[in-house]
Amino acid sequence: MSEPLRYRKKPVEIEAWQWVSGRPEVLADEIAEWCEGDYDPTLSGACGPNGEDWGCLEIDTPEGTMEVAPYDFVIRGVKGEFYPCKPDIFAATYEAVMK
């Protein structure tokens, strides 16, 4: 019986923003502009972690429309695509690049 081969993820640099508190509606607009219109920021409804009115962000991804939750990261992939990433997955996968 054969065994699976092991692979390592290639080192790739990406750009990402984290949707954080403070003025989430302002950051939502900045993220939308950065994503070159691929975002549809809907700023109504209480979807903040403690019921705050953050509004909601949805992004068109290669897999379809996905919601960006508070504190999620928005990543621009290697082909220019955008997608959300949970903070714990982001921390386990990426590290800051010093310029």
Q: Give domain limits for the chain.
A: 15-93
- In whole angstroms, how large is the CA radius of gyration of the chain? 16
pLDDT at residue 64, rounded to an integer: 87
Long-range contacts (CB closer than 8 Å, 24 or more residues apart) made by 76-81: 76/14, 76/15, 76/16, 76/35, 77/14, 78/12, 78/14
Over 60: is that where the pLDDT of 20 sits?
yes
pLDDT at residue 16, rounded to an integer: 93
Q: Taking all residues of the chain, what is their mean pLDDT, rounded to a whole number?
A: 80
Point out the least confidently predicted range of 19-23, 39-43, 54-58, 72-76: 39-43
pLDDT at residue 51, rounded to an integer: 62
pTM for the model: 0.74
